[in-house]
Amino acid sequence: MKDLRDYTYDGLKDLVERFGERPYRARQLHAWLFRGGVESIDEMTDLPKDFRRRLRDGGFYIGVVEVLKTRRSVDGTVKLLLGLEDGSGVECVLIPDGKRLTLCVSTQCGCSLGCRFCMTGGIGPGRNLRLSEMTAEVLAASSLVGSGLIEGYGRITNVVLMGMGEPLLNYDEVLRFITVLTDPKAMGFSTRRVTVSTAGVVPAIKRLGRDADINLAVSLNATTDVVRDRLMPINRRHPLKELLAALRSYPLRKGRRITMEYVLIKGVNDSRDDAYRLVRLLKGIPCKINLIPFNPFPGCGFERPGHERVETFWRILSDNHYSVVTRASRGMDIEAACGQLQGKRGL
Ligand code: SF4
């Protein structure tokens, strides 16, 4: 059995050719699958009946991902738990903010990288999500938004690949997902409104710079290898020097900057020395910095720094001419904030 939403436009062109159908059928299929959000082959009413039957007989279908639960935070953030075909659960989060409604999409069930400040890392490696499953997150969330889930927002404006998992460890499928997301004839998001966030898989960052024209965010979180090794085991494979060199040579379109995510953890990476080191480390990298005061969870062994500490860190960066914002954690009460996604069924 093959889910038609696992095919990009190029794949659909090949498929249509194999079935001996006219090439424009691929465009029709593509639009139904990624714009129309149909749930069965028979809903694609402008395809000949016989073609639809042959698709079904050939083992093709359109997978339906169930929204098992929605939880709404007091701050307006909404977390969706989706049930996948194999029984696993995956979460995505809608974050309303001014004119923007951002969807934070998961790219894996679980994560093998084990960052110490992240609950997803704590559940261990799961599996890569397929194109059909990542697009299902967008389609499910879009449909709920379209039906008035979040007052004042008619559609999703931005997509960040920053939910469960490390996108660049699911590289090929994520690249296909980006293709569908940004294809004007599919989901149609502007490349400026799509961001991939990585923990620092350096070889894949280099590839991404060549393969895709989207925004890059990097979860940095430390200014020395000793601390980063402790917080993010991937640093032992790709230490800071290697990561920063890759960012320095990352091809950026005019006016674009890399977003540096820095989770501030009390007594671990939030000192004045850290702030000054960060100023030096990021020199020459066109970037903006997001400071995220840590969201503690049971058993993590870390604490959130006090307001003054965060303010001092912010000021040092700002005084050194970095564009820096302290991101208010969104959706903490529903465990939808950064590093809190677990995809547990029944949440
Ligand atoms: S922060 Fe991202 S890369 Fe690290 S464990 Fe969590 S999901 Fe994985």
Regarding whether 294 and 235 lie in a shared domain, the answer is yes
pLDDT, tens only, 74-126: 999 999 999 999 999 999 999 999 999 999 999 999 999 999 998 887 778 88
Q: Given the residues 109, 115, 118, 338, select the one marked as catalytic.
A: 338
Indicate if 248 and 100 belong to the same structural domain. yes
Q: Are residues 161 and 13 in the same domain?
A: no
Q: Are 287 and 260 in contact (CB under 8 A)?
A: yes
In the reported structure, the alpha carbon of residue 295 is separated from the centroid of ligand 1 by a whole-number distance in angstroms of: 14
The domain containing residue 183 runs over which residues?
A: 66-334
CB-CB contact of 145 with 153 (8 Å): yes
Rounded to whole angstroms, the Cα distance separating 305 from 310 reads 7
Question: Mutate which of 91, 105, 113 to test ligand 1's pocket (most atoms within 8 Å of Cβ)?
Answer: 113
Tens-digit pLDDT profile for residues 294-342: 988 888 899 999 999 999 999 999 999 999 999 877 787 777 777 777 7
- Tell me, yes or no, whether 230 and 118 share the same domain: yes
Say if 39 falls within a structural domain: yes
Count up the domains in the chain and report the number.
2
Mean pLDDT, range 32-44, rounded to an integer: 92
- Compute, in angstroms, the gap from residue 92 CA to the centroid of ligand 1: 14
**pLDDT digits 0-9 by tens, 239-256:** 999 999 999 999 998 889
Residue of minimum CA distance from atom 3 in ligand 1: 166
203 and 313 both lie in a single domain: yes
Determine the distance separating the centroid of ligand 1 and the alpha carbon of 304, expressed in angstroms.
Answer: 18
- Verify that 255 and 292 share a domain, yes or no: yes
CB 24 within 8 A of CB 47: no
Any domain includes 325: yes
The answer on 149 and 11 residing in a single domain is: no
Residues 30 and 167 in one domain: no
Q: Are residues 116 and 189 in the same domain?
A: yes
Residue 137: how many other CB atoms lie within 10 Å: 25
